[in-house]
Structures are given as C-alpha cells and as structure tokens.
Structure 1
Amino acid sequence: MRLLRAGICSMVAFAVLAHGAVEPWSEAVLEIGAGLLLVLWCALVLHEENPEVNWNNLLWPLAGFWLIAAVQSLGRLTVYPFATHIEWLKGSALVLLVFLAVQAFQTADQWRKFVWFLLIFGFVVSLFAIIQHFTFNGKLYWVRELRFGGVPFGPYVDRDHFAGFVELIAPAGLSLLILRGERRELWPMLTMFTLLPIGALFLSASRGGIIGFLCEVVLLLGLVFFRRMEGKTVLAGVIVLVLVAGVVGWLGIGRALERFEQYRGLEVTESRRVEMTRDTWKIFLDHPVLGTGFGTLQSVFPRYETLYDGRVVNHTHNDYVELLGETGATGGILAILFLALLLLRSWRAMDAGRGSLELALHVGALVACFGILVHSLVDFNLHIPSNALIFLLQAILATSIFS
C-alpha cells in the first residue's frame, strides 16, 4: 500500500499547487488521478491472499452526499444539470480518495508519516508564499495573470484559502510539540515546519483565517490540558505559544493589520456576507427537501439577491447555508450526522490511544477540522477541492483507531 499512500499525497500536493484545483483542467487531473489510484488499489487487493476492505463511519454521510448529487444530476432534480454533474464528478474524486486513504493508512506510523508530509509540504508552500508576497509582481508564480481578480497568497488566488490550508496543517505540528509526540532530536525541525506556516497565515492578513487559528489554539490547549495535565506538558504549551508569538511579531503583526485596511475595499464586507446568507436562506426555504442542486448557487442567486453590488456571487461565504441552499434539509441532516460522528468517534479514538504519538495525531487532526469549520462560517474553504480533501483526510485521521 506504500505506492497508494504516495499517490494520495501526490494528489494533495498537486491540488494545492494548482491554485486549490478550482479550474476545469486541475479538477480533471484530480478526478483522473483518483480513478488511477482506484485501479492501483484493486490490483493490490487482487494480489493479497486475504483481502480486506476497511471502513470508517464518516464514509456513510460522505456516501450520502455523493448519492444526493447523483440523484440530482441523473434525476434532473436540479436547476442546472451540467453544473451539478460537474460537482458530482468532483465529489466522486474526493470521496474516492478518502475511501482509498482508509485502505492505505492503518497504523500510527503510517499516519505519522502523512502528518510529516503535510508539515514539510506546508513549510515549503508557506516559504514560497512569503517570498512571493515580498516580490509580488501581480502574477501567480510570477508568471500567471489574475484573469478574474483576487487577493492571492501563495498558490491560492484568495488569501483566505491559503489561511484555510494553514489551519489544516499547523495544529498537527503544535500538537506533536506540546504533547511531545516525537523524539527530542526532531523538535527543532518540527518547530520550524510548524511556526513558519503560522507566521505566513498572519502575514496573509486573512481575518477569518486568523480567527479560525486562534480558535484552534484555544481548543488545542483545552484538549491538551484536559487529556494530559502534566507539568512538562504545560511548560511545552507555554514555550510553543511564546515561539508562535515571536514568529508572528517578527513577520509583523502591524503589517497584517495594515493589510486588513488595504484590502478592505477588495473583499466582501461583513454586511454583504450577512445579506448573502439571508438571500441563500431564502433559496433553502423555497427548495427545502433537496435544494436547487450542487453547484447551482451562482445560477440561482441573482433571483434572490436583495443587494446587488456589481459582483457575481458564486459562493455564499458561509459553507453551511450554501449547503442548505443546494441540498436542502437532506444535505443538512447528513452534515449534522458527519459532524456528530466526527466528534464522537474522535473522542473514542483519543480514549483508545496508546501513547503520546497517537494522542497527538488525534488531537491535531480534530483541532484542524475544528478550525476550518469555524472559518467556514464566513468563507467557502470547503468548496476548494484541495482544502476539502485535506479536511476530509484529517477527519479520517481524527476518527481512526490504529491497528
């Protein structure tokens, strides 16, 4: 399964570097890649004497979302069949990659290596983002024009989505440091790989991202002190927080505050977000059972828009309300089921842990999921394939009981 694990990591890296995999060509690569990895897994299983198919209960609500999209698309229960079909294909790739991850990652050591991959990759992406920020010429990777505008940071067209990426990887490093889940000789490297992305997050000046990260810190400290209240753990937590504050101060919290004001006119205002949420809620009230169809918000929204500001609305800047508008109460129930399973199963997994490493892996993954879920109240990170994929993989890690 080593080759399968490498393939999944490759898909994560590609999706992030391809601006989040939000364009047709990158979505197609993600879908084809998922299909090829499925073929690889089938070939590996056929060569085993006693093949087993592993399962994680989070796959049930994910399968439910996949089924909703299939019914909407094939049954023409959508206002825009083509858009829903595209979302169904994209969702199929994500669900398939998550299913394959359940098959490929079974032991604590395998998940540990995945977490290290995320931390190293996140460090490289964040370092690039900082360099690009200070040498920015108005183009992504210094060569690609921004055809539809945006406030880019790193490989992402929207700085909020870079912040979401960091929210999904940084808690793993913080958890390993505070809970001392790694060998002492690895602490300096782990510290570097963890702190630089956090500094880059603050440099991006994403308000939702910074708030989400601060919520992560609060939950992380709460979980750490609740699960393991020891003198060394408290000291490690204090040291890590001091280091985080030092990195943020070094990169310039003042610069981040200045960027808040600089980009105020370029981004969606708080009042506009509230209006979009209200208008999307009206869409849900008119389509309460199955919604208007996955991927149809941009097509439906103009009929419900109460405050037109000259911009096309393709997402509500609230993943939860947008989900209700596109999938109705059926999707809402599945979302509640997913979140309930995530909370209950992750707590059970923490209880079943057999050491500092396992506890650190579970705590870091759960905190990462929590941060992006908070951020999703004011943004649409879960509609960015790269971030959605990492979120789902972290959710699987948080709820996995290692063999």
Structure 2
Amino acid sequence: MQRLRPYFPHIFSRLASPPTWQPAGFVLLAVLVGGLLTQLSVAEGGMFLLRTAVLLLILVEPMAGLFVALVTGPLGATEAGLLDSGQLYLLLSLLAWVAHGLRDRRLFVPRTFLAVPLAIFVGVTAVSIIDAPSYSFGLQELLKWIEMLVIMLLVVDRVNVWRTQRGGHRLTPLLWLLAALFVAGLSQAALGIYQFALQPDGPEHFLVLGRFYRAYGTFNQPNPFGGFMNFTAVLGLGILLSYLWETGDWRLKSTNLQSLISSFRSRNWLAILSVGLVTAVSLAAVIASWSRGAWLSLSVAVAAMLLFWPRKLWQGVLLLAVGGVLLLGGSQIGLVPATITERITSFSDDLRFGDVRGEDITDENYAVLERLAHWQAAVDMAEDQPWLGVGFGNYEPAYADYALINWPYPLGHAHNYYLNLLAETGIVGLLAYFVVWTAVFWQTIRVIQRTDGWQRGVALGLLGVWTALTVHHLVDKLYVNNIYIHLGALFGLLQLLDNQKQDMVHFG
C-alpha cells in the first residue's frame, strides 16, 4: 500500500502561514460561538462544546465517530426522531471516512474474509423484498446488515491507515476499539444493576422475587438487554482466560524465584483489573436481567470458550466434563440458588412445538402460548412462500394474514430468529444466513488456534459472543436497538486479528 501523507503536519503547515483573511475569520467564529454560549444554560453549553469537540475529532479520525456510536447506540430505544445518537455518529463517521479517502485518493474496499458471505446474504435478502408487503420494513431491516458490512470495512481500512502512517507494529486502534466496547457495556451494566437493586419502583410486569425489578437498561426490555450484556461479559472473560493461561505457562517455565518475581511484575495489572471489573459487573447485569434466554446463551457460550481454551481439544473436552460435574453437584447441594435453577430448567417450555389453537389460556401459560402462536404463524408464512419468504423484515406486516384467532397482534418478530428468517426470506435466505455464521465461526476458531496472548483471549471472547447470539436467537431477536453496530465492529475486530497474527503486543 502506498504510504500516506500524515494529516496533522499538513494542517499545521497551513495554519503556520495563513492568508490574511484567516485570523479575522477565526475571531468572527469565536465571537459567534461565544455569543451562542451566552444564550444557553451551563448544561446546554457544555453539551454544545462536547458535541463540537466530538465532531472535530471525527473529522480528524473517522474511527472516533464509531467509538462514540458504540457508546451511544444503546440509547436508541429511548430517543425519538429520524436518527438516534448512535446512527447519527455512525453516519458522521462514514462520511468522514469517505472524505478521507477522497482527500488521499485511495477509495477502495479492503479485502476481508467475511465480506463475500455478508454481501451474498445482503443480496438474497434484498431480492426477497421485491414482492414484500412493505418496502419500508424491508429496507429498514436490510440497512442493518449493510451497516454491519460497512462498519467492518471501515474498521479494517482505518486500522490499516493507522498502521501505514505510524508503523506496522502498532495495535493501538484495536485497544481503543475494545475500550469503546467495554465502556458501552459497563455503562449499561451499571444502569441495569441500579434498576434491579436500587430502583424504588419499575414496570410491574418486571417484578421478580417480590422486591426486585428485572434490569433492562436503555433497551426497555430485559431480554435484549441481557443478550447485549452477554457480549461484554464473554469478551472480557475471554481476555481473562488468556491471562490465566499465560500465568500458568510462565509459572511452568520459570525455574527460580527471581524469574517468578520478574514475570509477576511484568504483568499489566491495571489492564487486567480493569477487564476483570468490567467482566464481573457485566455478569451481574446478565443475572439482573432475569432473562432465561440470556442465562442459557451465556452458559453455552462459556462452555464453547472452555472447549477451545486449551491448545488441545481433548483437554477442552475434559475441562467441560469437570465443569459439568461441578455445576451439577453444586445444584444438588444447594450452592446454586433454587430460583435460578428453576428458571433455567423451565426454559424447555419455551422450546416446545405444537398447535396452540385449542389451548386454554391462563396467566401461567400466556407467555409460552403467545410465543408458540407466533412461531406457528412464521411456519405458515414459510409454507406459503418457501423459497424467498414474505420479504425481509416483513414478518409484522404479513402477520395479519397468518395470525391465530386468540393472537391478533404481532410482537414485531417471531421470537425465534431462525423461524423469523425462514418466514421472511425462505429457504434461500436461511441458507445464506447459515453460510455467514459458518464462516464467522470457522474464522474465529482459526484465529484462536494461530494467536497467543491477549489477542487469543479476544478471539476466545468473540467465539463466546457468536455462540451467545446464536443460542439466544432460539427464543428472541437481538438485531435491535443498534446492537448491529456492535456486531459490525466485532466483525472488523475479527478480521484484524486474522490479518496480523505476527503483530503481537503482550497484554500481561
């Protein structure tokens, strides 16, 4: 790649010898800004200056807009308007990215392993919309996947630019990306724990154990909140597992006390403790969501991570067996609270199939029957249009033609993303979706096998994210409330880990 001209020296050289009109322009701009600030309250003035600073930072480095979009994205469900904060900052980031490309005369699409599977899925779903009942619903859903693809390309391209300008050994952008992901998760986790433990009152239907309210963050619903918190929890857990592996490794290799002390002091304890804190708080938020889907998906995600944590597969299988025995024993002797055990074991009620037309509806079975009724409607849609479905994103507009008598109102989706996708895009769309996730899992496992240190830990965490998402989609849909911005960034992170296996920085 052609070496790029540094941006900051170019700006400073122009400011060092400005035309005669520039000082007057800066003074006029300062006067106008100062006059505007006098008309605003202290809080409004502070927000104006903060947003102005963020805008200028995005113009300098487009990735900054993505970082802000990751943090503000979960606010989308609480904001009104055409563009929520996450979408606005993402749009500014993409515009700045294009502007930088035009300035540097280097507009191109970086080569990534996942670009083709994602593009195929986008193409298939776009075709399914042609005869859909609602173009607006279809385009809204299609845009999410286009965003994921573009965000992945943005991350890869801007990190490549950073490395070209500052040397190929730098991984600073990856660390900033991880920091933004962790800040977004930590802020939601703190809010969720407050809602569960300290909130004086909340939605009555969220009440559990007689005095607590299920955590929901800014998602307005506990289930997607729990799913989102799983992302942060397993990503941090993967990094901690890599640290534990390295700790055991250097202890085995250390032959004397002096080398042990030296290795201990070389650990980056601030980073390790920070990741540990984020992980612990996120796990607490998952529990506070009281979401069976989130709990089950977290359990399966941790199992997948433990399976690939050791270098040899048989060791991972042994580790899983030991963990299963300990968990079963703990539940038998009461170490695992009965309320949690009962809620997890009752999960099978949500996964049973059957015709619910003749079922008697009670307060106890209402939620299960409602879910099953929407599954049944999705299956009927797929039987009607088996190849390309009723149109991507069109489950809700098409629902009226397939609704059961006792369940006339759509929930927005089928509460099983696989049935939902089968109904909307047919067999072709569901196969394209499986191709995407097969490629994602295959690439992630390859990175786990080829990397070391904290980068292997991030790859382990990504495996946990994909597993949690895949399992949770059995009973819900998580492509909501800007979660797809996070997924696009995580896709980009995976591509970078796969492309720089030799570019190592020690986390510990």
Q: What is residue 188 of structure 2 aligned with on the other side?
A: 125
1:269 aligns with 2:367: yes
Q: CA–CA distance in 2 between the matches of 1:381 and 1:331?
A: 18
Q: Within 5 A, what are the aligned runs for 1:31-110?
A: 31-48=87-104, 53-73=109-129, 75=130, 77-105=131-159, 108-110=171-173
Greater gyration radius: 2
1:287 aligns with 2:345: no
Give the 3 Å change call, closer, same or farther, for CA 174–30 of structure 1 in structure 2. closer
Q: What is residue 447 of structure 2 aligned with on the other side?
A: 349
Q: CA–CA distance in 1 between the matches of 2:237 and 2:372?
A: 33
RMSD: 3.6
Q: CA–CA distance in 2 between the matches of 1:291 and 1:24?
A: 31
Partner deviation per Cα, 1:377-399 (whole Å, 9 max, x = no partner): 111112x1422332343234334
Q: CA–CA distance in 1 between the matches of 2:87 and 2:125?
A: 16
**2:418–2:473 Cα contact (<8 Å) kept:** yes
Partner deviation per Cα, 1:322-348 (whole Å, 9 max, x = no partner): 111111122112112101211222222
Could you say what secondary structure the match of 2:308 adopts?
helix
Q: CA–CA distance in 2 between the matches of 1:101 and 1:395?
A: 9
The Cα shift of 1:165 comes to 0.7
Q: What is residue 143 of structure 1 aligned with on the other side?
A: none
Give the 3 Å change call, closer, same or farther, for CA 28–62 of structure 1 in structure 2. farther
Query: Which residue among 143, 163, 166 is the counterpart of 2:229?
Result: 166
Q: What is residue 425 of structure 2 aligned with on the other side?
A: 327
Q: What is residue 12 of structure 1 aligned with on the other side?
A: 70
Give the 3 Å change call, closer, same or farther, for CA 302–44 of structure 1 in structure 2. same
What letter corresponds to residue 489 of structure 2 in structure 1? L
Higher mean Cα deviation, 10-19 or 32-41?
32-41
Q: CA–CA distance in 1 between the matches of 2:118 and 2:436?
A: 8
TM-score by length of 2: 0.64
Number of aligned positions between the proteins: 372
Partner deviation per Cα, 1:6-57 (whole Å, 9 max, x = no partner): 21121122221223x8x77365655554433222112222344766632323
**1:368–1:394 Cα contact (<8 Å) kept:** no
Give the 3 Å change call, closer, same or farther, for CA 283–118 of structure 1 in structure 2. same
**2:216–2:225 Cα contact (<8 Å) kept:** yes
What letter corresponds to residue 80 of structure 1 in structure 2? S
Partner deviation per Cα, 1:282-315 (whole Å, 9 max, x = no partner): 2112112221112211121232233624643311
Q: CA–CA distance in 2 between the matches of 1:186 and 1:137?
A: 36
Gapped runs of 5+ residues in structure 1? Answer: 140-149
Q: Within 5 A, what are the aligned runs for 1:377-396?
A: 377-382=474-479, 384-396=480-492
Q: CA–CA distance in 2 between the matches of 1:26 and 1:357?
A: 40
Could you say what secondary structure the match of 2:388 adopts?
coil
**1:54–1:102 Cα contact (<8 Å) kept:** yes
Q: Percent identical across equivalent pairs? A: 20
The Cα shift of 1:374 comes to 0.5
Gapped runs of 5+ residues in structure 2? Answer: 1-57, 161-169, 204-212, 247-266, 347-361, 501-508
Q: CA–CA distance in 2 between the matches of 1:112 and 1:127?
A: 22
Query: Which residue among 183, 186, 208 is the counterpart of 2:271?
Result: 186
Could you say what secondary structure the match of 1:225 adopts?
coil
Give the 3 Å change call, closer, same or farther, for CA 102–278 of structure 1 in structure 2. farther
Q: CA–CA distance in 2 between the matches of 1:198 and 1:26?
A: 33
Query: Which residue among 464, 468, 490 is the counterpart of 1:367?
Result: 464
What letter corresponds to residue 38 of structure 1 in structure 2? L
Partner deviation per Cα, 1:151-190 (whole Å, 9 max, x = no partner): 7611111101111111111111111111117723432222
Q: CA–CA distance in 1 between the matches of 2:159 and 2:365?
A: 39
